[in-house]
Chains A and B, each alone.
Chain A
Amino acid sequence: MMSPTGNRTVEQPIVALHGVHKSFGSLEVLKGIDIDVMKGEVVCIIGPSGSGKSTLIRTINGLTPVSKGSVKVEGIEVHDAKLDKLALRRKVGIVFQQYNLFPHRTVLQNVMMAPLLVLRENRTEVEERARALLAKVKLKDKENAYPAELSGGQQQRVAIARSLCMRPDVMLFDEVTAALDPETVKEVLVTIRDLAMDGMTCMLVTHEMGFAREISDRVYFTDAGRIVESGPPSQIFETPQDPRTQEFLSKVL
């Protein structure tokens, strides 16, 4: 329905995966994944548990090394031994299922830490940006709270603000609502939707089918380490072609 309009005229994909394989010992988790994401696009990856979705998204910022194939972010090969990790990680932000906020720092400090310590940016500028981001995720009044004092949904929104404060070009979301109480899922999804509307390139691994359908430009259905089917959400959710997609959707919808 409401598809965020990204700038689709740029020719080069911002994220490009080609023939990505990943094995953990003898277990092959990814068996040749190809995905191109254009700037401003919102891409959702759906599929049954254990289909390699999280592994897939973690290869994009280099947290999980690939066994074979190529992952490029803005033309930089992620799995190059000579990779400048700092350059990559300023470009790609990631939010995890378990928030992973730093419990010994306040909300504001959590958001400011990386730009201050890693990018060595000016404190006043970072603080201004951090406050603006906290206002954006509607947590302005919580800046001096510690993570343990917040609800799961609030912590997850802080985690999003923390990632954004590095000014990434791509945001990855790894099942960010899976650990949340149902009543706080919505506030996190609204935050992500606002982000997507602002034109941020987003890749989401999610089990929120309604949200995937509403927000995505393109949906990938994965099963057993392969992309079974991909296309615009209307096609995947209304007229899925592959029997595995049909079966999965009939279970979750």
Chain B
Amino acid sequence: MTPNWTVSRLTWRAPVLAAGLCVLATLAAMAQDGSTGRPSALATLITWMPFILKGFGLNLVMSVLAMALATVSGVILGFMQISPVTLIRLPAKLVTNLFRNSPWLVILFAIMFLVPFQITLPGGDKVMVPDWLKATFGFSLPVMANVSEILRGAVASIPSGQWESAESLAFTRGQTLRHIILPQCIRRMLPPWMNWYALLTLMTPMAAILGVNEALGNTQAAMEAAGSRPEFLIPFYLFLMTIFFVVIYPISICTRRLEKRFATGS
């Protein structure tokens, strides 16, 4: 009874909270609209909304791309971490721990300045590497390390009896992983994986520091273009927070639900 009630309340709350933030943004805009002759803060915000949303589109593209990259490389790294071969396991552990325990912004700066702005393809053509792509790569590294750790942890959480009975039934290590261990791991991995996607998306505005034209960068550019009036600050930033909230909150609800379901079902 209780868990159901909690979950449904959270679900019901999400849109209301989001709508509340929007209303607050509107009110804040109107309250500060004392002057005449100039367009109000709200009208300015509405004018610039498409520009900010376009930037937000890039945030989503970066987050999805970075997550895809992080998942593929993280799973490979995770498998290397559980390898019985020391020569494979140790480097994987090193890489995982390095990127898990470094500040994201430092990784981001390092990638920005270490990756060249243009790459010469084998054919001799020169290709420009856009900043947002470099930032995407930078975001994917810490998430990769965490996905690697999620996989390692999930495999370690499977009781040793599963390995023993598989071994006794003549399964090889590869067969055991593929048919017995991993299918049991996926459901354990899904909630933390989704959680990392949410975190990653929330981190993407950091790319603004590096000059990528995503939502935060565009919001600041819009305010500046409209005359940098102080009354812009609250509505513009509230709008920005709201669009992130609207995307992320359903994900975190979904994560919580999955966690609850996996915790009760065996």
Chain A interface (Cβ within 8 Å of chain B)?
Answer: 61, 63, 85-86, 89-90, 92-94, 96, 98, 100-104, 113-114, 117-119, 148, 159, 162-163, 166
* Contacts A103-B184, A117-B175; A98 near B170 (Cβ below 8 A): no
Which B residues lie within 8 Å of A89 (CB)?
167-170
Tell me the interface secondary structure of chain B in the complex: helix
A102–B184 alpha-carbon span in the complex (Å): 9
Residue B261 interfacial (CB < 8 Å): no
* Contacts A96-B164, A96-B165; A114 near B184 (Cβ below 8 A): no
- Smallest CB separation, A204 vs chain B (Å): 16
Q: Could you tell me which residues of chain B, from 127 to 176, have a CB within 8 Å of some CB in chain A? A: 159, 161-162, 164-171, 175
Which B residues lie within 8 Å of A119 (CB)?
170
A63–B161 alpha-carbon span in the complex (Å): 11
- Smallest CB separation, A164 vs chain B (Å): 11
Residue B61 interfacial (CB < 8 Å): no
Residue B227 interfacial (CB < 8 Å): no
Residue B118 interfacial (CB < 8 Å): no
* Contacts A85-B170, A90-B170, A118-B175; A100 near B164 (Cβ below 8 A): yes
A61–B169 alpha-carbon span in the complex (Å): 10
Chain B interface (Cβ within 8 Å of chain A)?
Answer: 159, 161-162, 164-171, 175, 179-180, 183-184, 266
| Complex A-B: 5 CB contacts under 8 Å | A86-B170, A96-B161, A114-B169, A117-B179, A166-B170
Cβ-defined partner of A63 (8 Å) among B168, B180, B183: B168
* Contacts A96-B161, A98-B161; A104 near B169 (Cβ below 8 A): no
Is there an interface contact between A94 and B180, defined as CB atoms closer than 8 Å?
no
Is there an interface contact between A118 and B184, defined as CB atoms closer than 8 Å?
no
* Contacts A102-B180, A104-B183, A113-B179; A118 near B169 (Cβ below 8 A): yes
A89–B168 alpha-carbon span in the complex (Å): 6
Is there an interface contact between A100 and B170, defined as CB atoms closer than 8 Å?
no
Which A residues lie within 8 Å of B266 (CB)?
103, 148
A251–B170 alpha-carbon span in the complex (Å): 39
* Contacts A100-B162, A117-B175; A163 near B169 (Cβ below 8 A): yes
A61–B170 alpha-carbon span in the complex (Å): 10
Which A residues lie within 8 Å of B168 (CB)?
61, 63, 89, 92-94, 163
* Contacts A102-B180, A103-B266, A104-B183; A117 near B171 (Cβ below 8 A): yes
Other than A63-B164, A96-B165, A100-B159, give 11 A-B pairs with Cβ distance below 8 A: A89-B167, A93-B168, A94-B165, A102-B166, A102-B180, A113-B179, A114-B169, A117-B171, A159-B165, A163-B168, A163-B169
A86–B171 alpha-carbon span in the complex (Å): 8
A101–B166 alpha-carbon span in the complex (Å): 9
Closest A residue by C-beta to B170 = A89
- Smallest CB separation, B84 vs chain A (Å): 15
Which A residues lie within 8 Å of B175 (CB)?
117-118
Cβ-defined partner of A114 (8 Å) among B159, B164, B171: B171
* Contacts A117-B179, A118-B175; A102 near B162 (Cβ below 8 A): yes
A166–B180 alpha-carbon span in the complex (Å): 17
- Smallest CB separation, B168 vs chain A (Å): 5
Which A residues lie within 8 Å of B170 (CB)?
85-86, 89-90, 114, 118-119, 166
